[in-house]
Amino acid sequence: MRRTRSDTQKTYEVSAGLFITFEGPDGSGKSTQIRLLGEYLMGKGLDVIYTREPGGTRIGEKIREIILDPHSTEMDPLTEAMLYASSRAQHVAEVIRPALAAGCVVLCDRYVDSSVAYQGYGRGIGGIVAEVNAIATGDVTPDLTIFLDIGPEACFDRIGKHGGDRIESEDISYHQAVYEGYLELAEKYPGRFKRVDGSGGVRVVQNAVRKIADEFIEDFAGRNKT
């Protein structure tokens, strides 16, 4: 992470990359919030890249098509979990690890926590998801995770307007289990997994996101001075 502009209040001098992931139910507004945070951090002179899962690479986008195809109704939960993990392995190797090594701030729309919530809790296949993902990602774990907390009913209303892919089309009980998975992750990892109330307007949510990111980056920079 490099901060080069002199018109900012503070100067961070660190060489390490910073990996920030965004999590939340479908329809929680992650994409908008990531874009706005990226613009904000770039405005501070940081080198920022955006990426997303499943996908983020040419191969990953092909895997994404298979996973999210509404016609793939017969897909076994383990197949599903391993496809997400395969897409992730490629993403880590091709995009995330090199960007972190180059000192970038990597903003990633979903990562391993999505698999834990959607496959582990949603599909009920539990701990095997973490095992598969440990193989897929190695030592590339998020420094900070921003969880947009908004209940499944509210998200359902938002998604309903757009139709949906195979996962989005699951019923409310599936999305409720996913949501409960996220709440358990928040309890398990209070240090990196930060909850933001996602029910407010875009600006209100973004202000809360920026506050968390600012505090985290300042602390991170203090710990990683060159």
Least separation in angstroms between residue 54's CB and ligand TYD is 5
Least separation in angstroms between residue 109's CB and ligand TYD is 6
CB 141 within 8 A of CB 218: no
The residues that touch ligand TYD, with contacts defined as CB under 6 A, are: 26, 30-31, 53-54, 68, 84, 109-110, 114-115, 118-119, 165, 167-168
Least separation in angstroms between residue 221's CB and ligand TYD is 29
Least separation in angstroms between residue 4's CB and ligand TYD is 31
Least separation in angstroms between residue 198's CB and ligand TYD is 12
Which residue minimizes CB distance to ligand TYD?
118
Cβ proximity to ligand TYD: between 16 and 68 the closer is: 68
Closest CA to 26 of 138, 143, 178, 136: 178
Q: How many CB atoms lie within 10 A of CB 59?
A: 16
User: What are the phi and psi torsion angles at 156 (to 5°)?
Assistant: -55, -45
Cβ proximity to ligand TYD: between 165 and 180 the closer is: 165
Cβ proximity to ligand TYD: between 40 and 174 the closer is: 174
d(CA 191, CA 153): 28
Cβ proximity to ligand TYD: between 34 and 213 the closer is: 34
Q: Which stretches within 44-168 are classed as H helix?
A: 58-68, 77-91, 97-101, 112-115, 128-137, 152-160
Strand residue runs (E) in 16-55: 18-23, 48-52
Among all chains, which residue has been given the structure tokens 């904000």?
40
CB 106 within 8 A of CB 99: yes
Cβ proximity to ligand TYD: between 53 and 149 the closer is: 53
